[in-house]
Structure 1
Amino acid sequence: MLLNYIHWNASPEIVSIGPITLRWYGLLFASGFLLGLFIVRRMFQEEKAPEEWLDKAFVYVVVGAVLGARLGHVFFYDWAYYSQHLIEIPQVWKGGLASHGGAIGVILCLWIFSVRVSKKSVLWILDKVVVPTALAGCFIRLGNLMNSEILGNPTTVSWGFVFERVDGPDGLARHPVQLYESISYLISFIVLYNIYWRTEKRHKLGYMFGLFMIFIWGIRFIMEFFKSSQGGFETAFNNVLSTGQLLSIPFILIGVYFVFRPVKQVAV
């Protein structure tokens, strides 16, 4: 029986004008940040937090996300290469960002923001930022789809994608893990958004942050079973778990701690 798979050959570029090229990944990445800014602004207004804090927090998040994601890719996934090509480490435009590194970078930068600007617990700002971050994750995975990157394992399911730019028009059909993750992150965002605005859980310091960690990294752990290897240090563990799964485990455990720990202080 001949299966009619989805043949995917989308261009990663939207338009080119001279040396300037607008790419889907960059547009979606930026859109995620800007939507996040809009959502967090509403949260700041609800809690009557100073507007100038938001502008500063946005800068900290962008810097932490980009630097952390780049260094995460370099050290977690491809240090063998970059250790011999140090000059390429800052060349983000060539590709290579790791979400685990981005998460670490954002947390560290928001900790600095909390110490220098808000003078509040870092959990106060994290409980807000994580809500639109789930939506940004949805956009970023769509960008990965447009780039035909982060490919899934071969499959025979009818919705399998043949990534022609990578495998050719007669290549194997693969799980569209970019879509799996994107949809899962969108659902996570909807759940987190409604919990924040419709329940009192947002007043439990660290709860929203913990729930985000469980949702996002739990999803990531599951999705890794459908992905082709991205490299990294998984071979040191006999390929039992992927690098993405090994990195996700401590994030999930941190999330469980913050969701279930007893808290007397409220986030006001």
Structure 2
Amino acid sequence: MDFILNAIQWSGAENIFSIGSFGIRYYSMCWLLAFVVSYILMSKVFKRERKTQDDLDRLTMYIFVGTILGARVGHCLFYEFDKYITQPWLMFLPFSNEGGEWRFTGFAGLASHGGAIGILIGLYLYAKKTKTDFLWIADRLLLVVPVAAAFIRIGNFMNSEIIGKVADPNLPWAVIFTKVDNTPRHPAQLYEALGYLVLSVILWVTYQKNSTPKKGLLFGIGLIGLFTIRFIMEFFKENQEAFEDTMFINMGQLLSVPFILAGLYLIFRPADTKTVK
């Protein structure tokens, strides 16, 4: 980073290292850290709740698969529907032939809302398979989801993607993403990451004060917090796709509304006195 004219010049750093067309990306590393840190935190929760290591490992597999598949399919359907509806198998190829040359790109395009849906499906299947109460496990999982989301947004920053809108050049933390243009912008990715970390602290404090809160409370707070942050942060971001320019609120905001409403329902629903794990 270089500080020039009060703006941070960020040239990006996609690869940690590369060999030919293959490389290990910082973005991929952030995803890996998201899962590793989440696993460590969940292991502490499971230990406190007297759940076994096998329970945690099984949950991890369901969530990992659900997150990746959901995020990928969500991006393709929400943001590039016309491209993938005629060739749906391309959703799952970690290669691109743009420019007539095949090269390894990983899954270029992942949507957080799709990831959220994938997590919920994975969580439902896990709860059904293990006969665990869905809301009980969802409450615990939401303790770590904001941390994982923060890592992913840091990865977006490293990639100079999901960039912010134009900012006042005198803003001390304005960033010029030199791989995109020479315009000072809001580092919206970092705003969002910070918001998720604050939310994580709120959820952990609530959990630590009462390890058996009303079922669905942490889940509800988490949904409201995650997607309210996402809704607000969209005002600081450039739209990801051209079709969003004609929308009153963009796709990210539109998709956030159902999750916020679901969170409100979970918080204000009558308490269920039956305890099931």
Give TM-score scaled by structure 2 length: 0.88
Q: Identify the residue that residue 53 of structure 2 maps to in structure 1.
A: 51
Map of 1:88-237 to 2, 5 A cutoff?
88-92=90-94, 93-117=106-130, 119-156=131-168, 157-167=171-181, 171-200=182-211, 202-231=212-241, 234=244
Give SS of 2:266's match: helix
Structure 1 CA distance for aligned equivalents of residues 89 and 259 of structure 2? 31
Q: Provide the aligned C-alpha RMSD in A.
A: 1.8
10-19 vs 204-213, greater mean Cα deviation: 10-19
Q: Deviations over 1:198-248 (max 9, x none)?
A: 235x4311111100001010000000011111128646xx41101000000
Q: 1:240 to 1:261 in 2, by over 3 A?
A: same
Cα distance 1:233–1:84, how it changes in 2: closer, same or farther (>3 A)?
A: same
The structure with more helix, counted as a fraction of residues? 1
**Cα deviation code 1:148-174 (max 9, x no counterpart):** 00011111133211111122xxx2111
What is the CA deviation profile of residues 9-41 of structure 1, one whole-angstrom value per residue up to 9, with x for unaligned ones?
021111224665221111111111111111111
Alignment partner, residue 68 of structure 1? 70
Deviation at 1:91, TM superposition (A): 2.6
What residue number does 2:35 align with?
Answer: 33
Give 1:239's aligned residue: 247
Residue of 265, 268, 272 corresponding to 1:264: 272
Q: Secondary structure at the match of 2:17?
A: strand
Query: In the aligned structure 2, how far is the partner of 1:30 from the partner of 1:145?
Result: 16
- Residue 51 of structure 1 deviates from its aligned partner by 2.3
Cα distance, 1:88 vs structure 2: 2.1
Q: Which amino acid aligns with 1:112?
A: L
Instruction: Measure, in 2, the Cα distance between the counterparts of 1:34 and 1:18.
Output: 28
Between the aligned residues of both structures, percent identity stands at 39
Task: Say which SS state the counterpart of residue 183 (structure 2) adopts.
Answer: coil
Number of aligned residue pairs: 260
Gaps of at least 5 residues in structure 1 are: none
CA-CA distance at 1:49 after TM superposition: 1.8
CA contact (8 A) 1:76 1:232 kept: no
Q: Distance in 2 between matches of 1:107 and 1:129?
A: 10
Shift of 1:181: 0.3
Structure 2 residue 8 is matched with structure 1 residue 6: yes
Flag structure 2 segments of 5+ consecutive residues without an equivalent.
95-105
Task: Measure, in 1, the Cα distance between the counterparts of 2:76 and 2:21.
Answer: 27
What does residue 102 of structure 2 align with? none
Match of 2:84 in 1: 82
Q: Choose the corresponding residue for 2:261, options 249, 253, 261.
A: 253
Q: Distance in 1 between matches of 2:209 and 2:216?
A: 17
